[in-house]
A and B are shown apart, each in its own frame.
Chain A
Amino acid sequence: MKQFIEKLSSKYDLQEVVYQRDNLVFAAISKENAIDAVTYLRDYEGFTHLVMMSCVDWIEDGKFQLLYLLNSPDLKSDIGLKVYIDRENPVMDSAHHLWKQVWTYQREIRESFGIDFPGSPRIEENFVVEGWDDKPFMRRDFDTHEYAQKTYFPRGNRKTNDPAEYMRKKLYPNQPVTAKQRKDDK
């Protein structure tokens, strides 16, 4: 696996290669090379099984991270290619021509993160929500609790406790709070 990754990184420059397990590697690749690398892996290196596509919102860096997780039935190992795209104009090339299920993933990511994949079939259709008029719901800056509070009718008498405080009160009522606990709560 290791020499294979080195071969690949000589072809496409891979950053932040992480050997999570001996048969699971995560590596970042530039947005331009991504689809090319995925196609190369599928056609020439035997990574024929697309396990999943996923997306993470790194709001503090102002980036979305797309993940193409490929599996090779012969090597019995996986490689996860991460693509960082700008959060301001989130557009990514579509890969629906490579696998039949990709357009479903792209449709879901478009709905939940607002990333556009031009040319992907049925990309405009909504996937899980209907008549959604707020910002994409999986973005970090969308507060689902606040939305639920103002949209649905919460029962008034529902109260939520901080678990640490609550357990301390319930289980050890007459014990002074130690400095360590105070530090942990910070």
Chain B
Amino acid sequence: MINKFLGFKPDEKLLPSQTVTPDTDIDLSSHKYQKIWLGPNHPGVTGNMAVELTVQGNTIMKAKTHVGYLHRGFEKLIERRLFVQGFPTSIRMCVAEPDTNEYFIARSTEELSGYADAVPEYANWLRMLSLEMARLQGLLRGVPGQGGTFALGIGVQWGVYLRDLILDRFEELTGARVYHMYIIPGGVRGALPDGFKERMEDNLRDIDDFIIRIKKLMFHNSVFKTRAKGLAIITPDMIDKYGIVGTNARGSGVKRDVRKDNPYLYYDQLDFDPPTATDGDVYARSWVRWQELIQTVDLIRQIMAKMPDTGDIRAKMPNVLNWKIPKGETYVRLESGRGEMGMYYVTDGSDKPRRINLRGPSYNHAIAVLEDMLVGADVADVHAIMVSLQTCPPEIER
């Protein structure tokens, strides 16, 4: 009311954001618009990518995503490496959660060479444990990161500290900090160390405390609500049109979760229900992620309770140095922290893969969705929108 009385908020139908559509043609030679670049050298873009904006004042008229700054040509390099040689290379395709790629490579090779059922039960439980830990460390960066986009840096500091604790557990389990080549074809590389569960439980208790704090810091914060509510809304009918998956889809009420739809490993033995929200704006998405943080902690507890204490960690596999896989193709998918990830894997009977192709959720989120979502938005919100869509460049360009 007071806004209208004082007249500081412009009339809705005068706002340019109401009139712009993704296919408005921009005439740069008329002196109305300005072209600015966000990135690649910009603290406000997620990773090493660039967004080319055509702005009028503070309003974005046109947005173009530029990727390829992290292109390494994995899919070409894999074609000239043995299966075992390609393994350490290909897991570096996604920096945020490398374990997903390990699972893809291991699972596809097992499936195509007929060892799908040979993997021991204990190894599968360990795979689930490492995958859920990877999701947890991703969420510990992602959930407070949404506040960080609004300069709420304190939560990020707490979250990254706890993520370091999880990375310590990873180091215990796998020996590596970020790129742990743990899920190998035929099983896993090591058993659970003594006392791992107790130390993990300590960290999980810290994280429970952190979850409450971040709730008070972010979701009960008036300024955060002011900025995040009603920003970058994804409507349910956009889900299939744009191929939106994961938390972005669940944030707008569409329950898509590979763990429920096509259960892999032993996810059908755990009881959990993917959280959803209805609004589909930035607030709803980060709220869904916050609930998923709780759920992931709970899942890790369930896994550690249900998994057998010991067992075989690896099936008997052929000699990897001359391991030939018959001609075939498959598609393996799982639910990563950002949504459905998958890999299309083709073999041609030789000792090298014929073709692999990673399907990252950001491939749609960062290009098709982001470009249409930024139109009419405020320059100040670009970072928030990118983080809320969980754009991750390495999996776009591989």
Tell me which residues across on chain A come within 8 A of B224, comparing CB atoms: none
Report Cα–Cα, A73/B254, bound state, in Å. Answer: 11
Give chain A's interface residues, CB within 8 Å of chain B. Answer: 18, 20-21, 23-24, 26, 48-52, 54, 56-57, 67, 69, 73, 76, 78, 80, 99-101, 103-104, 126-130, 137-138, 140, 142, 144-145, 163-164, 167, 184-185
Chain B 67-107 per-residue mask, 1 if CB under 8 angstroms from chain A, else 0 = 11001010111011010110000000000000000000000
| Bound-complex Cα distance A163 to B84 (A) | 10
Q: Does B134 contact A (CB under 8 A)?
A: no
Q: Can you pick out 10 interface pairs between chain A and chain B where the beta carbons lie within 8 Å of each other?
A: A56-B346, A76-B261, A80-B329, A99-B241, A101-B363, A104-B367, A137-B76, A142-B76, A184-B319, A184-B321
Query: Is the CB of B364 closer than 8 A to any CB of chain A?
Result: yes
Whole-angstrom distance between the Cβ of A51 and the nearest chain B Cβ:
6
Segment of B25-33, B188-196, B200-208, B352-360 engaged in the interface with chain A: B352-360
Given contacts A80-B331, A100-B368, contact A185 B322 (CB under 8 A): yes
| Interface residues of chain A: helix, strand, loop or mixed (majority) | mixed
* B256 on the A face (CB < 8 A): yes
What is the CB-to-nearest-CB distance from A133 to chain B, in angstroms, rounded to a whole number? 16
A186 to chain B, nearest CB (A): 9
The verdict on B372 contacting chain A, using a C-beta distance below 8 Å, is yes
B157 lies within 8 A of chain A by Cβ: no
Q: What is the distance, in angstroms, from B23's C-beta to the closest C-beta of chain A?
A: 10
Q: Is B168 an interface residue (CB 8 A)?
A: no
Partner of B322, one of A20, A126, A164: A164
Contact A163 B354 (CB under 8 A): no
**Chain B residues touching A, range:** 35 or more
- CB contacts under 8 Å to A, within B43-67, are 67
- List 4 extra interface pairs beyond A100-B364, A128-B397, CB under 8 A: A23-B262, A56-B346, A69-B331, A104-B367
Q: How far is the CB of A81 from chain B (nearest CB, A)?
A: 12
Nearest chain B CB to A184's CB is how many angstroms away? 4
Closest Cβ–Cβ distance, residue A129 to chain B (whole Å): 6
Tell me, rounded to whole Å, the shortest Cβ–Cβ distance linking A76 to chain B.
5
Residues of A within 8 A of B80 (CB): 144-145
Please provide the 9 A-B residue pairs with the shortest distance between their CB atoms, ordered closest to farther: A128-B68, A128-B71, A101-B368, A52-B359, A48-B240, A184-B322, A101-B364, A54-B357, A164-B321
Q: Which residues of B contact A184 (CB under 8 A)?
A: 319, 321-322
Query: Given A54-B357, A138-B76, A163-B321, A26–B329 Cβ distance below 8 Å?
Result: yes
Could you tell me the distance in whole angstroms from the C-beta of B185 to the nearest C-beta in chain A? Answer: 16
Asked, given contacts A78-B331, A144-B76, A164-B322, whether A56 binds B355 with beta carbons under 8 Å apart, the answer is yes
Q: B residues 192-249 with Cβ under 8 Å of A?
A: 240-243
With A51-B342, A76-B262 as known contacts, state yes or no: A101 contacts B367, CB within 8 Å. Answer: yes
Shortest beta-carbon distance from A140 to chain B in Å: 8
* Chain A CB within 8 A of B115 CB: no
The answer to whether B243 touches A99 (Cβ under 8 A) is yes
Instruction: Known A73-B261, A138-B75; judge A50-B331 contact (CB<8 A).
Output: no
Q: Does B267 contact A (CB under 8 A)?
A: no
